[in-house]
Amino acid sequence: MPLHTIVLVKQVPDTSNISGDVMRPDGTVNRARLPAIFNPEDQAALELALRLKDQYGGLVTALTMGPPNAVNMLRECLYMGADRVILVSDRRFAAADTLATSYALHKAIQHIGDYDLIFGGRQAIDGDTAQVGPQTAEKLGITQFTYTQEVLNLDLKQRTIRAKRAIKNGYEILESPLPVLLTVIKDAARPRPFDVRKLCTYKRAQSKFEIQSYVDESHDLITLDQVLEKARADGLYIETWNIEDIDADVSMCGLAGSPTKVHKVENVILSGSEFKQVPASTEGLNEMIGELMQDHIFG
């Protein structure tokens, strides 16, 4: 059996790029206006998986759960060298917390079948929880290496992996029998650029949603099945799975399957009652320092 690695990827709003019309007048963020990007640590995870493939052969499958437009990120996975990409998308997954997300991901992984390794970013930049990786591992009943910095060795005969992971003020090297789920930090690997030939081929790869909208525009001249069949035959179909496809229990998905609920959100009112504007002048700064010395803040 060749090595099979599954990489969990997520498309996220670019929270490092908040500007202009992204902020609403009331101070909240308009998520829809943020550019969607490939979660950086997931990209590092994909790179590590591709390096193992370069070294040991095998197949890399990229899996995401997200809205239909997450297909853009899956195409990028193909451009980088993923062999298979899968979009798990269904309105009934909406508002999932980490538990409902990991439930859906583990059902999708079970539907994929056998695997040796699972990689994912340590955390996604839109929530920073770092919970989905370990929760998915738990549901699959496998162990995990979190904060992975480097894969040191893969022994396909003994079926073991050795990797380096960050711990407080240092690192440790762990060895485990396969399979293992590894969550990867950003510094672990710099993602490779897109392969131009793959880009030319796979920019035409489409999800079921994209094919459906194309069919809808054709005014019934063609059927969904016809186009799907053609795309499959050309190797340009991006597998698109819903709740039924992965045999998931609806009550465990989305909002219904999420134990954590947002009770309320509040804008923060800044007090600033004792605020003093200090002019950037020698006198202004001297006065401020004098006050701080009097208050025994300095010294």
Partner 1 sequence: MIKVVNSNIKDMVWVFAEQADGALAEVGLELLHKARTLADKMGSEVSAVLLGHEVEALIDPLFSHGADNVYLLDDQELKDFRSIPYANLVTKLVEEKRPRVVLFGATHIGRDIAPRVASHTRSGLTADCTELKIETLTLRKVEHPDLLLQIRPAFGGNIIATIISPDVEIQMATIREGVMEMGVADLSRKGRVIQVPVKLDPIEIAVKIIEKHQAASTVNLKAAPIIVAGGYGADTPEKFQLIKDLAKVLGADVAGSRAAVDAGLIEAERQVGQTGTTVRPKLYIAIGISGAIQHRAGMQESQKIIAINNDPEAPIFGVAHYGITGDLEVVIPQLIAAYKSQLH
Site for partner 1 in 105-144 (CB under 8 A): 126-135, 137-139, 143-144
What values do phi and psi take at 290, rounded to 5? -60, -45
CA distance 240 to 57: 26
Closest CB 74 distance from partner 1, rounded Å: 23
Q: Which stretch binds partner 1 (CB under 8 A): 8-16, 47-55, 224-232, 233-241?
A: 8-16
Handedness of CA 93, 117, 147, 135 (dihedral sign): positive
Interactions with partner 1, residue window 153-172 (CB under 8 A):
162, 166-172
By CB under 8 A, tell whether 35 contacts partner 1.
Answer: no
CA-nearest of 192, 199, 191, 196 to 78 is 199
Nearer to partner 1, 113 or 294 (CB): 294
Site string for partner 1, 212-231 (x = CB under 8 A): --------------------
Interactions with partner 1, residue window 81-110 (CB under 8 A):
97-99, 102
CA distance 14 to 39: 8
Q: Which stretch binds partner 1 (CB under 8 A): 48-56, 63-71, 85-93, 256-264?
A: 256-264
CA distance 244 to 88: 11
Interactions with partner 1, residue window 260-299 (CB under 8 A):
260-268, 270-272, 274-282, 284-286, 288-290, 292-293, 295, 297-298
CA distance 143 to 136: 10
The two structure tokens encoding residue 152:
């040191």
By CB under 8 A, tell whether 259 contacts partner 1.
Answer: yes
Examine residue 179 and say whether the peptide bond preceding it is cis (omega within 30 degrees of 0). Answer: yes
